[in-house]
Amino acid sequence: MTGRRDGIPDRPDALPADELARLNQELADYQWLFHTAGEAVILLDEEARFIDCSQRYVDLYGFASKAELAAGYPENVATERQPDGRSTYEKAYEYIQRVHEQGSAAFEWLHRRVDGEEFLSYVRLERIRFGGRPCIRGVVEDISTVRSLAKPAEERVRKLADQYRELETLSLIDPLTGVYNRRKFDAVMPYAWDAAQRAGQALGILFIDIDFFKPYNDHYGHAAGDACLKVVAERIGNCTRRRTDFVVRYGGEEFVVILPEVNEERLAERAEAIRQAVAEAAVPHAYSPVADHVTISIGGAWGAPDCDCMNHHTLVESADRMLYQAKSAGRDRVELQRCGEDDGAPRAE
């Protein structure tokens, strides 16, 4: 057998059978990769320099031939920046490094065709050995059409999500007065109590009831009754402007105010300010035995970490008892209690 000085046989039939089989397999792989594969495939060296590509890759970018594409690669397919505003070359370097370190990378990428048209693609890179040397295999898929078709659907989903959030918010708002409703109160009260306990601060709560509201409604009509509720809610809101204050229409003519970080003195000040604000609104009420205008009764309680108040339910019950006491004592007044100091008064009704 003759051979060259480098030891490589002159004729293929002089190769060992296993070596010939390996070369034939590489040839078959090569032909499949670049000539029969339906994907846009590119083969790069370790430094991301062009080696070869499939015909589908050439067609994707609109070049007349593989040679034309290779002559200017990668500048002739690159945009200056990616959609996030970062430099294309800076990001490309990061992805190539990821392939070297992790073996593969997949990402969305903005490319440019030969006519200057930009298109969004999905790129998959993987580290392989081809022809006996390490290479990078890339597959590029044009997803611009898919994205353009998906945009209306995405916009629809976004609008539906916005509508859902709006409906969720509306479900927690009393539509008449614009303050929160009982459902929201039930959700917030436990968290307000827990937050106060963790912070070592007191939490106050006021139960507010419009005095003799039924006679008012019966004689002035439901429209006037609705207007009265709005006035009372507005006056309460004007007296509770802290970001942490929380006003609720508890049901019917009853309101609740949650007041974090209050002591007995501050709670009494807020309660009295609310009572006076409603009285100063001077909503006529000729059928009240208390005054010639609409008045309110307020029962309140506050709980501190060192009190005997076991939980938020106990605090609510204490305030409710104080409301009953205010109504029993003649209405148009404020009655307060430190949570846990049970005076035996029944709940308000």
**Does 333 share its domain with 195?**
yes
Q: The domain spanning residue 106 has which CATH number? A: 3.30.450.20
At residue 3, the pLDDT reads: 42
Could you say which of 122, 146, 170 is where a domain stops? 146
**Does 200 share its domain with 133?**
no
pLDDT band at 85 (very low <50, low <70, confident <90, very high): very high
The answer to whether residue 66 is domain-embedded is: yes
Alpha carbon distance 298, 281 (integer Å): 17
**Does 125 share its domain with 186?**
no
pLDDT in tens, 121-134: 999 999 988 877 89
**Does 194 share its domain with 304?**
yes
Q: Measuring CA to CA, how many Å separate 109 from each of 89, 123, 139, 154, 197?
A: 12, 7, 12, 20, 51
Nearest one of 99, 90, 91, 42 to 66, comparing CA atoms: 42
**Does 305 share its domain with 186?**
yes
pLDDT band at 308 (very low <50, low <70, confident <90, very high): low
pLDDT in tens, 193-246: 998 888 888 999 999 999 999 999 999 999 999 999 999 999 999 999 898 899
pLDDT at position 11 over 80: no
The answer to whether residue 9 is domain-embedded is: no
pLDDT band at 22 (very low <50, low <70, confident <90, very high): low
* Active-site residue flag, 253: yes
The answer to whether residue 292 is domain-embedded is: yes
The answer to whether residue 274 is domain-embedded is: yes
- The number of folded domains in the chain is 2
Could you say which DSSP state residue 349 is in?
A: -
- Collapsing DSSP states into helix, strand and coil, what is residue 6? coil
Other Cβ atoms less than 10 A from the Cβ of 101: the count is 9
pTM reported for the whole predicted model? 0.56
Q: The domain spanning residue 234 has which CATH number? A: 3.30.70.270
Nearest one of 79, 101, 106, 100 to 90, comparing CA atoms: 79
**Does 215 share its domain with 313?**
yes
**Does 142 share its domain with 197?**
no
Could you say which of 146, 170, 190 is where a domain stops? 146
**Does 134 share its domain with 220?**
no
The answer to whether residue 76 is domain-embedded is: yes
Alpha carbon distance 115, 181 (integer Å): 61
The answer to whether residue 204 is domain-embedded is: yes
Q: Measuring CA to CA, how many Å separate 245 from each of 6, 203, 256?
A: 89, 11, 11
**Does 122 share its domain with 203?**
no
The answer to whether residue 11 is domain-embedded is: no
Query: Which whole number is the average pLDDT over 271-293?
Result: 97
- What residues make up the domain containing 191? 182-338
Q: Which of 26, 39, 101, 253 is catalytic?
A: 253
Query: Which whole number is the average pLDDT over 100-119?
Result: 94
Name, in order, each residue with C-beta under 8 angstroms of 306's C-beta and a sequence gap of 6 or more: none
**Does 44 share its domain with 140?**
yes
Alpha carbon distance 158, 155 (integer Å): 5
At residue 341, the pLDDT reads: 67
The answer to whether residue 176 is domain-embedded is: no
**Does 106 share its domain with 197?**
no
